[in-house]
C-alpha cells in the first residue's frame, strides 16, 4: 500500500496547508494558513493534532511568525503563545523552544530560512521514525492478534505510518497479517471513531469501534490479546501521558494479564521529568464535552464538566515501549 500522497500538514514558502481533522471523515478539506494566530487556533481546536505532528506544526508556526513579525519583541511574544498552545504533548514546546533558542540571534530573514530548514528536517525524521516504529513493533503483534488501540495515532498524527496505529497498519498492509482490530471511540472528541476509522478504512482493514467504556468487558470476554496506544509525553520512570482513557485501559489490561504497549518516538521522552507527577495536563472546555453528546448544541447554563485531554499511565503498567530505536523498557537513561 502506497503511503498517503497528501500528508496532513505541509509547509510551503508562503503558507501552511493542513487537512482539517475536525471535519473528518465526512469532509477532506485542506485549508491554507498564512498567519500564526490561525495556526495556533488550528492547534488548539485540534484541526492539527497528535504529539509528533504538533512538533512539525510548531516549526511551521515559527516560520510563519518570522515572515509576519516586524521585530524580535513581537517574535518573542508570538513564540511564547505558540509554544504553550497545547501543554501536554512534548513535541510542540520542545521543537519550538529548541529551534528558537538556536536561531533567535539571527535577523528575521535569516531566521525564516533556518525555521524552514528545521521544519523540513523534522518532517523527514518523523517519517523515518514512524517507519522504524512500525517495523520494530511487529514482533509483538503476531498474525491473527486481536488488538485494541485508543485515540488516533496513524499518519494523521505522525507522517509516515504513525505510532500505535502505524504498527497495525504496517503489519496488515505490508506484511499481510490478519489482525482483528478494535479501536475506542475516544471521548469526548472521538478521534478514534472519526479518524482511526477513516485511516483503517483507507488501508482496507476490517476494524470495529467500541465505546471507551466497553474495553473492560471485551477484555473480560477474552476478546483482546494486546493493547497498543501512543504517547504525548513520557517521564524517565516510564509514566506516560496520553489521551484520556489510556490509564483506564492500562489498568484493565493489567487486571486481565493482557500486555499493554506504548508506541512512540523517543522525542516523546521528557528527559527533565523524573515521573508523570511533573506533567501539565491540558484541561479543555466544558462545551466540548457536552457537544460530543448533544449534536453540537451548546450546554445549558447549569452544566459543568471536568474535561482533561490526557491522563498519566504509571510506567510499571507498560509492558514495553516501541520506539524507532527498538523495544525499550523504563526507566530511561537521563543522559539520552
Ligand atoms: O488530543 P490529541 O488528539 O492531540 O491526542 C492525541 C493522542 O493522545 C495520541 O495518542 C498521541 O498524541 C500520539 S499521536 C501519534
- Which atom of ligand 1 is the closest one to the Cα of 186? 3
> Does the beta carbon of 92 lie inside 6 Å of ligand 1?
no
Secondary structure (3-state) at 1: coil
Query: Is there a catalytic annotation at residue 97?
Result: no
Distances (CA, A) of 96 to 48, 59, 65, 331: 16, 6, 11, 26
Is the model's pLDDT at 272 over the cut of 90? yes
pLDDT tens digits, one per residue of 62-83: 999 999 999 999 999 999 999 9
pLDDT tens digits, one per residue of 153-211: 999 999 999 999 999 999 999 999 999 999 999 999 999 999 999 999 999 999 999 99
Residues 144 and 24: their CA atoms lie apart, in Å, by: 29
Q: Please list the residues that pair with 269 across neighbouring strands.
A: 234
Going by pLDDT thresholds of 50, 70 and 90, the confidence category of residue 34 is very high
pLDDT computed for residue 153 by the predictor: 98
Secondary structure (3-state) at 333: coil
More confident residue, 336 or 37: 37
State the distance from the centre of ligand 1 to the C-alpha of 73, rounded, in angstroms. Answer: 32
> Does the beta carbon of 157 lie inside 6 Å of ligand 1?
yes
Going by pLDDT thresholds of 50, 70 and 90, the confidence category of residue 6 is low
Q: Among residues 118, 212, 232, 270, which one is catalytic?
A: 232
More confident residue, 335 or 37: 37
pLDDT tens digits, one per residue of 105-158: 999 999 999 999 999 999 999 999 999 999 999 999 999 999 999 999 999 999
Provide φ and ψ at 189, rounded to 5°: -100, 0
pLDDT computed for residue 102 by the predictor: 98
Going by pLDDT thresholds of 50, 70 and 90, the confidence category of residue 297 is confident
Q: Which residues contact 329 (CB under 8 A, 6 or more apart)?
A: 238, 320, 321
What's the mean pLDDT when you consider all of the chain? 95
Q: Where are the beta strands (DSSP E) in the chain?
A: 9-11, 16-19, 30-33, 146-149, 180-184, 207-210, 226-229, 233-234, 240-243, 260-263, 310-313, 320-323, 326-328
Closest listed residue to residue 276, CA positions, set 313, 250, 244? 313
> Does the beta carbon of 50 lie inside 6 Å of ligand 1?
yes
Secondary structure (3-state) at 173: helix
User: Following DSSP, what letter does each residue of 98-139 receive, concatenated?
Assistant: HHHHHHTTS-HHHHHHHHHHHHHHHHHHHHHHHHHHHHHGGG
User: Are the beta carbons of 25 and 130 closer than 8 angstroms?
Assistant: no
User: Are the beta carbons of 236 and 329 closer than 8 angstroms?
Assistant: no
Is the model's pLDDT at 18 over the cut of 80? yes
Amino acid at each position: 500500500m502506497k503511503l498517503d500522497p497528501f500528508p496532513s500538514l505541509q509547509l510551503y514558502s508562503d503558507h501552511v496547508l493542513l487537512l482539517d481533522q475536525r471535519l473528518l471523515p465526512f469532509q477532506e478539506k485542506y485549508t491554507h494558513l498564512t498567519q500564526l494566530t490561525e495556526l495556533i487556533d488550528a492547534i488548539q481546536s485540534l484541526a492539527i493534532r497528535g504529539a509528533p505532528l504538533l512538533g512539525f506544526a510548531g516549526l511551521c508556526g515559527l516560520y510563519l511568525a518570522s515572515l509576519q513579525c516586524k521585530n524580535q519583541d513581537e517574535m518573542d511574544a508570538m513564540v511564547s503563545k505558540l509554544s504553550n498552545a497545547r501543554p501536554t504533548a512534548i513535541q510542540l514546546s520542545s521543537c519550538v523552544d529548541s529551534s528558537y533558542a538556536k536561531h533567535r540571534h539571527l535577523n528575521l530573514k535569516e531566521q525564516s530560512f533556518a525555521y524552514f530548514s528545521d521544519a523540513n528536517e523534522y518532517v523527514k525524521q518523523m517519517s523515518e521514525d514512524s517507519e522504524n516504529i512500525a517495523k520494530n513493533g511487529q514482533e509483538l503483534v503476531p498474525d491473527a492478534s486481536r488488538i485494541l488501540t485508543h485515540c488516533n495515532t496513524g499518519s494523521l498524527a505522525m507522517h509516515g505510518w504513525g505510532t500505535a496505529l502505524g504498527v497495525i497498519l504496517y503489519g496488515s498492509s505490508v506484511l499481510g497479517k490478519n489482525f482483528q482490530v478494535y479501536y475506542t471511540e475516544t471521548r469526548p472528541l472521538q478521534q478514534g471513531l472519526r479518524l482511526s476509522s477513516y485511516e483503517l478504512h483507507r488501508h482496507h482493514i476490517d476494524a470495529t469501534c467500541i465505546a471507551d467504556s466497553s474495553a473492560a468487558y471485551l477484555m473480560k470476554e477474552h476478546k483482546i490479546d494486546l493493547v497498543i496506544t501512543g504517547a504525548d509525553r513520557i517521564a524517565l520512570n516510564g509514566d506516560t501521558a496520553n489521551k484520556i482513557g489510556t490509564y483506564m485501559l492500562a489498568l484493565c489490561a493489567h487486571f486481565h494479564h493482557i500486555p499493554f504497549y506504548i508506541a512512540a518516538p523517543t522525542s516523546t521522552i521528557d528527559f527533565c521529568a523524573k515521573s508523570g507527577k511533573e506533567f501539565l495536563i491540558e484541561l479543555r472546555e466544558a462545551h466540548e464535552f457536552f457537544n460530543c453528546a448533544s449534536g453540537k448544541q451548546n450546554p445549558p447554563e447549569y452544566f459543568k464538566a471536568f474535561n482533561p485531554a490526557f491522563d498519566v499511565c504509571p510506567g510499571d503498567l507498560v509492558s514495553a515501549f516501541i520506539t524507532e530505536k527498538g523495544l525499550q523498557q523504563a526507566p530511561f537513561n537521563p543522559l539520552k
